[in-house]
Structure 1
């Protein structure tokens, strides 16, 4: 995190652990208000990788699951980076600002992703670096976010994943049950924006933003689940994170074969876990009824729910999810209930 921004957040009342804002002093209130009020949060827990150079677009086209030709100053996309076996090493939002492409992904997985993808530059005229300190980033959400932001930023994107570039801000509209925006910019403009938002909105911790990703059914790959899932297992193909027309990229054969020839036995579900103990990415699920040799499933992401327990996304064996007899970890673990996602996932028939 940029030191000047860190000091600014501390002065604003942020409680920070491991370069991540945990709260602004009242976590329970923050967890509650994100569902109905106007909130904003620091997104420094999400890092940035920048890709520059005349071959940048061609290089990314051969590495990522989505079609980089659709990324422009006006449109971003979700995408993933896979092994040759089609397993996701990481997933991220891809956007463009100026001449640079950016991958926005968790800080915890940035270094390994940067090291891996840099191995394949070879003769390409491409520069790849950790750009986490180059841009400050915040999230804004709430039922009235459109109107409140429009009073500050004169032009907002209208469609999910679209971008506007206004007054030094890169503004991206995100999927969610209520309007959400990611905003990127230099230090001083974002400090000014923070002060303007602070008049009518409540600052919240990083976990509150992930709760909204969970509610929206948007997966995040962390080190604990890297190489665990093909994109379809996390519904990436449903949320426009995979292109099946773009041609070759690392892992493409496996991903395409699963789409056209295979039958997906596991996919991502939204769940609620009846526990007060911390639930983490990579935690295993249990079911007495499961016949899967790999176990019934695994947590993708999880955050405490203001009504109690944990809200989470999990990749689950479809038959086990339908049986609705899931627990966390083992037979004595917390009960799990399956909730609805905000989008439909078509099940392929035999």
Structure 2
């Protein structure tokens, strides 16, 4: 995302203080436009979400898997006229784009990120509804809903937690609006605390959708029919076998571990590697992270971030049920 209306110094100084409502530029997230008469049919056979459920007033959360059910990406998808827009973290979006282009030659479908580039912002805070109205939107009433203001789209991911997607040509209007801008980390912290994940490079092609709890956040349709990786995903639901899930952890520290960093469990007097970091963010020496752990982990278990100076971690309840 281009934020030419912010200087480097202004961008670096964006607030990390908690605000009643705020808007965070998310340069790490990108948008892919998928066009052509076969775009819905093509993605229906490529993703875990059911394109038949997509309307002008909602968006779909989903995953793109390889033939073994391992994810290239987790994304949010919505329509813009006859086109489809896919929003995802840059690492995973580029991984999916390579695969989609490879097989898309057999369908009437095209992929573009440059013809009309988009910007992505996170919007959040307990008083976010007033900011939503200030931006000219009606307020979404539930997670999964999408509202529009011209070519701008607002996706309600969870309570008081949104994505704003707009053409970069409209960034100037935000510059003039005197908006409460905040650092990306402030929104990413909320994303983690809502139990929502994205894939960074070390974990691309390593995890099945249930490991990121996608079945609990309406990211998997088990009734849509065949798609790449569907056999594995369905087998994990109906026959069991998935033994891991994403959990929310925190600690007071100035560290920010990378995706894939090891997490250890205390077993009597020893520590054993039991999981790994999915996403992590540190704000004012408060670390929040999503971790891939055994799905029989309990709050009584002692966990730590591995390293030269291991760091004890606290576990927090997920905002949804995994069952």
* Shared fold (TM-score, shorter chain, > 0.5): yes
- Give 1:75's match in structure 2, choosing from 35, 54, 58: 58
Alignment correspondent of 1:18: none
Separation (CA, whole Å) in 1 of partners of 2:143 and 2:243: 29
The size of the alignment, in residue pairs, is: 320
1:48–1:132 CA contact under 8 A, matched in 2? no
Structure 2 residue matching 1:94: 3-state secondary structure: strand
Instruction: Give unmatched runs, 5+ long, in structure 1.
Output: 16-22, 25-29
- Give 1:125's match in structure 2, choosing from 85, 102, 108: 108
Separation (CA, whole Å) in 2 of partners of 1:247 and 1:281: 32
Separation (CA, whole Å) in 2 of partners of 1:14 and 1:254: 43
Alignment correspondent of 2:264: 286
Structure 2 residue matching 1:9: 3-state secondary structure: coil
Cα distance per residue 1:270-318 (max 9 Å; x no partner) = 011343222121111112429xxx9411111000144x34101111013
Which piece of structure 1 moves more, 117-126 or 212-221? 117-126
Alignment correspondent of 1:338: 315
Alignment correspondent of 1:271: 249
* Deviation for aligned residue 1:341: 1.3
Alignment correspondent of 1:185: 166
Cα distance per residue 1:184-228 (max 9 Å; x no partner) = 223343321343242xx2x11222221111011001111111122
CA RMSD of superposed structures (Å): 2.3
Give the alignment of 1:4-83 within 5 angstroms: 6-10=3-7, 13-15=10-12, 23-24=13-14, 30-33=15-18, 36-83=19-66
* Deviation for aligned residue 1:153: 0.8
* Deviation for aligned residue 1:68: 1.3
* Deviation for aligned residue 1:319: 3.7
Alignment correspondent of 2:211: 233
2:24–2:187 CA contact under 8 A, matched in 1? yes
Cα distance per residue 1:94-124 (max 9 Å; x no partner) = 1111221111111233322211221111320
Structure 1 residue matching 2:249: 3-state secondary structure: strand
* Deviation for aligned residue 1:330: 5.4
Structure 1 residue matching 2:6: 3-state secondary structure: helix
Separation (CA, whole Å) in 2 of partners of 1:287 and 1:114: 37
Pair 257,77 (structure 1): closer, same or farther in 2 beyond 3 Å: same
1:279–1:310 CA contact under 8 A, matched in 2? no
Alignment correspondent of 2:85: 102
Instruction: Give unmatched runs, 5+ long, in structure 2.
Output: none
Alignment correspondent of 2:99: 116
Separation (CA, whole Å) in 2 of partners of 1:93 and 1:210: 16
Cα distance per residue 1:57-108 (max 9 Å; x no partner) = 0000000011112223211011101111111111111111122111111123
1:64–1:82 CA contact under 8 A, matched in 2? yes
2:74–2:92 CA contact under 8 A, matched in 1? no
1:47–1:131 CA contact under 8 A, matched in 2? no
Structure 2 residue matching 1:204: 3-state secondary structure: coil
Separation (CA, whole Å) in 1 of partners of 2:123 and 2:77: 19
Cα distance per residue 1:120-139 (max 9 Å; x no partner) = 11320000123596122322
1:271–1:313 CA contact under 8 A, matched in 2? yes
Pair 53,188 (structure 1): closer, same or farther in 2 beyond 3 Å: closer
Give the alignment of 1:117-266 within 5 angstroms: 117-131=100-114, 134-176=117-159, 179-198=160-179, 201=180, 203-266=181-244
* Deviation for aligned residue 1:236: 0.5
* Deviation for aligned residue 1:332: 5.2
Separation (CA, whole Å) in 2 of partners of 1:41 and 1:314: 24
* Deviation for aligned residue 1:267: 0.9
